[in-house]
Homo-oligomer: A and B are copies of this chain.
């Protein structure tokens, strides 16, 4: 069984793979969603945090065992118990702060993805016990 996906957009920011010592928590990125999908973003601006699902397009290999965070002083672990990009399906998931929406563009903070990264999906983030972040139409449900 094979599953085929098409990106819904791409990440635009100032971070390239060659960039050094990046503090991802401070990186501001634009999620540029394909214009024909803009309608699908309606209501997203009511959330403070969203979940970005993206494709690690620069990962070159697949490994079942990795050193956590690339630190070779740490013992090898199964890749599914880490967030390393070298996974069988190179899907990344990160919760980010949504600063604002400008039409088909979402300005977010804290996304750990390089410039040009394909975006696969965007979802609202509902942390348990943090009901205040949910807009009224969600709370009621």
Tell me the A residues contacting B by CB distance below 8 Å: 1-8, 33, 37, 39-44, 46-47, 51, 53, 55, 64-65, 68-69, 71, 74-83, 87-89, 91, 93, 118, 120-124, 127, 137-138, 140-141
Contacts and interface: CB of A to CB of B under 8 A. Distances in A.
Contact of A68 (B77, B80, B88, B137): B137
A78 B40 contact: yes
Given A1-B7, A7-B3, A39-B64, A121 B89 contact: yes
A44 B77 CA distance: 9
Nearest to A122: B80
Nearest to A127: B127
Given A3-B6, A41-B78, A44-B78, A120 B138 contact: no
Contact of A89 (B5, B43, B127): B5
Question: Interface centre among A42, A47, A83, by most B CB within 10 Å?
Answer: A42
A4 B4 contact: yes
Nearest to A79: B40
Contacts of A6: 1-3, 88-89
A69 B83 CA distance: 30
Contact of A2 (B4, B42, B89, B122): B4
A39 B68 contact: no
Given A3-B120, A5-B5, A89-B120, 8 more contacts: A3-B4, A5-B91, A33-B80, A51-B93, A53-B53, A53-B91, A88-B121, A127-B127
